[in-house]
Amino acid sequence: MTLNRNKLYWILFTACTVGYVWIYFISEKQFTENNQINGCLIKHFTNIPCPSCGSSRSVISLLNGDFIVALNFNPIGYIIVLTMLVAPVWIIMDTITKTNSLFNFYLKTENYLKKLKVAIPLILIIIMNWIWNITKGL
């Protein structure tokens, strides 16, 4: 299961497809009925929102152009939207030109994130966001 280029592209592409289907599915269903989406197992079982709870609602708010609302739901939605927009295009470009720029970028980012100077602030941000999620009662 060593991660190589094709495997990474496959995982990313599947994840993005599932993401699009999921967004389509819940935007059809209208989540406004008591503002809840049951997509998260952690929340389903423990009633405590996880760090990324609310990101579906955030993505949908972003699609509707409500940037502030999206930020209030969960700032992680911004990252997800960015990934979902950029990743498929990049993967298709790489497949056509037969390069592996995305894979190299992924490896570089991974090494960057492993540095303690970067990792610790990011972990703290995620934990703070989590606490904010719990106090918001998503």
What residues make contact with other proteins under the rule CB under 8 A?
A: 1-3, 8, 11, 15, 18-19, 22, 39-43, 50-53, 55, 76, 79-80, 106, 109-110, 113-114, 126
Beta carbons within 8 Å of 127's beta carbon, 6+ residues apart = 51
- Shortest distance, position 56 Cβ to other proteins, whole Å: 9
Token pair for 79: 């990252």
Query: In the complex with other proteins, which residue's Cβ is closer, 8 or 69?
Result: 8
Give the nearest distance from C-beta 110 to other proteins in angstroms.
5
How is 93-124 classified by DSSP, letter by letter? HHHHHT--HHHHHHHHHHHHHTSHHHHHHHHH
Number of residues in the chain: 138
Nearest distance in Å: CB 9, other proteins: 13
Minimal distance, residue 90 CB to other proteins, in Å: 14
Q: Which is nearer to other proteins, 7 or 93 (CB)?
A: 7
- By the 10 Å C-beta count (0-12 exposed, 13-18 middle, 19+ buried), 107 is classed as middle
Return the ∠ at Cα 89 (arms to 88 and 93), rounded to 5°: 115
Nearer CB in complex with other proteins: 46/64: 46
- Considering only CA atoms, give the Rg of the chain: 17
- CB-wise, 42 or 131, nearer to other proteins? 42
